[in-house]
Structure 1
């Protein structure tokens, strides 16, 4: 049974979009929020752990629904995935989970990882074998031969597989989806275009044939599994929306027409602004190839404009950073909030996107806000986040990180299970 906690004196940002509440109290009992509001109306349970939080902010745990938990933010992706044994990658997953919660991220969705390590991580956390965030895994993403997710050279992928499942033709796609379901995945990931890391213009090409793509959506729908699609260019985005995918990942060319179609269909956009910003800010010094940096710089201003347009007309937007990918550390959820603010959202709006809205993408109404009856996934951040969202990028300011009322991190470090 979880310890009772009473967090006193902080400014409350509850994730609903409501204005911040100064001098608030949040009460947690048996893993649930039982009160969140003005201090003078709170009833404190006996023998509760008291957290004096004057000058701090209490808010829902951040979410990151575009994570590669088996990657560790390399400057050179192919070098990383070919230099490690499978065992080394498994140990890195454990470290990456610790970094995730240390950064205030309490829920993740993985979007293509090596050897179903994401599914194993979820199960280990559920069994209490290690501390970590809630994990919604997709197992292997599906890609074509030579596609964006086909990373490893043949000799290595034959040893222990690739980060993605390489499938060609409708029958292989159906089988690939069934394999992810059998392994315990709850989402399906499709790589439908190249990415910013790909040379020779593959960002503007599609990968699966129409018949292959339709077979994938049909098979996933039969299994009741939502589909997220890596799609940068406009034709791929439109194809994905019209075929019933749940979310578009990245969407560098998610323009006004795409936004209006997404709103009509209820499709979500996960723009992964953080990884693009990391490439621009740190790429040259880290040795990232020039063509990757140029790919991002060429599109970033428009990308931000498209995100703000989509938000303003009511498109569903969720928070994902591409953590684990190029130069993007695990636990970067606060950075995505900062990026949303740079797009023109208020801090409270950006936090709502990264909490309540993202929980809606995951179809989990038990998390995402600090309201009575919700799971006590929360963070206490030293400082006034409403006035300075950059605080969310400093994990040392994460005084308390709770998942279902259990303290999993503090001061930028995981708490031992």
Structure 2
């Protein structure tokens, strides 16, 4: 692989929230090998002149559904997995062109999609996946309606979840997803918007079942993420070792204390509620399910303010479905009046690496890290909206040392 050297770069130090001016950064074999304030030399290097613009790590979206080509999950589970995979490729490429070089799938993606991206058969961000999220019968991953006794879809193909009940079943399900290469395990631990038979305020899975799932993930050295809205759901999860809480709209002060005590992370997903409220039905969600979003819409903003006030560590998550995935960068807009730019950048970079167990592997411009890099025209630490206008602001997109976008043109990897 060609050695690449960025010169005249203002490097964003994501941990310190500051600019390191006049840096050179050398890339070799897909990794950053040097960051220097002096010339690095290298006659055979391919040189990219940043021209005083801003070099920062690629963004990380900690909550996506790359196979959710429709918000109608019951329909999704009846579709051909080949069709879903083909449509997912469009979603993946669009994510990379927005500057996301790593995404964590929260249900639906598998080894095949992740491997296709790694091979560049599909152009997209690096894909961390849980396989199918674990759901109890009648839980957030069970898409059977109240009158259904049978289900025409296939839980093992294009769906987002799998149903399991009891300690032995959940343990087997977790082990099966781990066998299939899961980089994290997802627990559906409360009611949700898109599921037909549960209530937002329900808790799901017994404590014994949760313990079994977390134990299996811990044994495999991977983390556990949990869908949870209410304080009642959240506060029974964090002490049991769940690393990231997804959504968290109805959490309380005790939740914040537990986040800090157990070094857990919150992934707000304000973008999806905003999008669902505005266009959920038009995008394909059943009207009676779309109405559930209003139970959590305004609460999401209040939870964000509470978490920021208490110093809860947060991740960037969008959780968008179907055509609404075009709003992926809107999460920056929805948080920016509450969360300072440096914290927002951490949420979308180094915080994610820390939470997922990849400290120093991505999310920073440091020696040894993956060469997942963006050249941004303006300084996002001064104005975070620089990251919300990729067509104008993103001058270069690199993932794993390969350039996918340069000079305003999307390219095949080179």
**TM-score, structure 2 as length reference:** 0.87
> Which stretch shows the higher mean deviation, 236-245 or 150-159?
150-159
- Is the CA contact (8 Å cut-off) linking 2:62 and 2:315 kept in structure 1? yes
Aligned residue among 263, 266, 291 for 2:263? 266
Which structure 2 residues correspond to residues 195-214 of structure 1 after superposition, within 5 A?
195-198=192-195, 202-214=199-211
Tell me: CA distance 1:384–1:297, structure 2 relative to 1, closer, same or farther (3 Å).
Answer: farther
- Match of residue 31 from structure 2: 32
Report matched runs for 1:34-183 at 5 Å. Answer: 34-36=33-35, 41-54=38-51, 56-72=53-69, 74=70, 76-78=71-73, 81-82=76-77, 84-113=79-108, 117-151=109-143, 154-157=151-154, 160=157, 162-183=159-180
How far does residue 104 in structure 1 lie from its aligned partner after superposition? Answer: 0.7
The equivalent residue for 2:365 is 370
Q: Distance in 2 between matches of 1:108 and 1:87?
A: 21
Query: Is the CA contact 1:63–1:358 (under 8 Å) kept in the aligned structure 2?
Result: yes
TM-score, normalising length: structure 1: 0.86
> Would the aligned equivalents of 1:77 and 1:326 in 2 still touch at CA under 8 Å?
no
- Structure 1 residues 263, 414: CA separation in 2 closer, same or farther (over 3 Å shift)? farther
Deviation per CA, 1:365-394: give whole Å up to 9, x if none: 221111233221111123343343223223
Verify: 1:399 aligned to 2:395, yes or no. Answer: yes
Instruction: Give the 3-state SS of the residue equivalent to 1:232 in structure 2.
Output: strand
Higher relative contact order (CA 8 A, sep 6+): 1
Q: Is the 8 A contact 2:80 2:158 kept in 1?
A: no
Q: Identify unmatched segments of 5+ residues in structure 2.
A: 145-149
Deviates more, 1:20-29 or 1:346-355: 20-29
Structure 1 pair 298–178 and aligned structure 2 pair: CA distance change class (3 A)? closer
Residues 112 and 125 of structure 1, relative CA distance in 2, 3 Å threshold: same
User: CA 1:14/1:337 → structure 2, altered by over 3 Å: closer, same or farther?
Assistant: farther
Which SS does the other structure have where 2:266 is aligned? strand
Which is worse superposed, 172-181 or 7-16? 7-16
Which deviates more from structure 2 when the two are superposed, residues 145-154 or residues 246-255?
A: 145-154
CA-based RMSD: 2.9
User: In the alignment, is the contact (CA less than 8 A) between 2:134 and 2:173 conserved in 1?
Assistant: yes
Q: Secondary structure at the match of 1:204?
A: coil
CA distance in 1, matches of 2:231, 2:388: 32
Where is the helix percentage greater, Structure 1 or Structure 2?
Answer: 1
Query: Greater shift after overlay, 83-92 or 52-61?
Result: 52-61
Q: Deviations over 1:294-348 (max 9, x none)?
A: 5445544442332243234332211221144672348x2x433333323x22212
Instruction: Give me the whole-angstrom Cα distance separating, in 2, the residues matched to 1:389 and 1:412.
Output: 23
Q: Which is further off, 126-135 or 89-98?
A: 126-135
Distance (Å, rounded) in 2 between the aligned partners of 1:156 and 1:137? 22
| Count of aligned residue pairs for this structure pair | 406
Where structure 1 has 5 or more consecutive residues not aligned to the other structure, the ranges are none
2:325 alignment partner, SS class = coil
Q: Secondary structure at the match of 1:269?
A: strand
